[in-house]
Amino acid sequence: MGGHAPDREPEPDGLAASARAALVRRIDASGAWAADPVWREAFAAVPRHLFVPYYYVGVAGGYERRWGESPDPRARERWVVGAYEDTPLATRLRDGELLSSSSQPSLMADMLAALCVRDGNAVLEIGAGTGYNAALLAHRLGDDKVTTVDLDPEITESARRHLAAAGYQPVVVTGDGARGVPERAPFDRIIATCALNTVPRAWLAQSRPGGRILMPLGTGLIVLTVSDAGHAEGRFLHTPAYFVPLRGGIRSWGEPAQLGGVPRRAREDDLFRFLLTLTRGSLDPQEAHALWEQEGMPQRERYGITVRGEHEWAWLDDPEGPYAWPLPS
């Protein structure tokens, strides 16, 4: 492996180490990294609590702030233990709106395993967040192989601090993730940790032929194989995914269309709502429901995305089959 295990100060009372070991066991049991168990070592080594010096948990009427500098030792203990729960952690709020978070670790493990990295790969991460995901990548591949980008300078600055505290130094760039980082290209892998509604063409142009792009789209995770700067194609993973939208040049889709006339069972079904996000502008909800029922309520992995030149479309089962829809812009 090209990564490293940096020297760090011992963790007080071993609480963080034991909590991290428990998290690794939980992810192990979930099977998230079964396809690439080398990621187990990265999650066992990288201290998540250093990337979330404070975070917010939902309570009745709003959020409660937990932080590592609390004068109350019991509060500090709750902060450490909570940092290693297998749950997303809200890290930035503005007027009650979630701006940034640290993703659920088991979902991160799913995504990293699906990225299929190899030693020597150069990886671009879109959405620096806390820096934790970049640290996992740097541990596996080495600092010089990892680039992470975010539009918000406050986020990139705090990510740099967190990474340095944990002993990692990947390249952290402040900029519009939709434009990629051309000065660091080409990349073997691109992974986005923020939701998009279309595939930025800059990412294809900055990928090596045969490279992989993994990104949240709608409420799923699409894995694309890049043929060249004008063509990429792939299928969704089975897992649902809900991420903060990318800020910058590409907007998110927002809520699905009005569902009048659609049975309640379908309205409340995550897989039906996923289909709605892919077919918006092409099928009305009633047409989408008829298709969904006819095709046996298909799972996410039956859907895919094709990018070819200026055209981009979602499809069910076959990119050239009867069920294909241009992605909403």
Please list the active-site residues.
Answer: 100
Counting every residue, how long is the chain? Answer: 329
Helix and strand element counts for the chain (H, E) = 10, 14
| H/E element, 154 | helix 153-166
Instruction: Identify any residues that bridge with 94 across adjacent strands, giving them in sequence order.
Output: 97
**What is the spatial distance between Cα 278 and Cα 17, in angstroms, rounded to a whole number?**
42
Contact, 177 vs 192, CB < 8 A?
yes
Burial 124-137 (b: 16+ CB within 10 A, else e): bbbbbbbbbbbbbb
Q: How far is CA 123 from the centre of its chain?
A: 14
SS3 of residue 215 by DSSP: strand
Beta carbons within 10 angstroms of residue 261's beta carbon = 10
**What is the spatial distance between Cα 312 and Cα 305, in angstroms, rounded to a whole number?**
7
Strands, DSSP E only, in 145-193?
146-150, 171-174, 187-192
Contact, 214 vs 192, CB < 8 A?
yes
Query: Where on the phi/psi map is residue 14: left (φ > 0), alpha (ψ -120 to 50), or beta?
Result: left
Q: How far is CA 87 from the centre of its chain?
A: 13
Residue with tokens 């008829």: 290
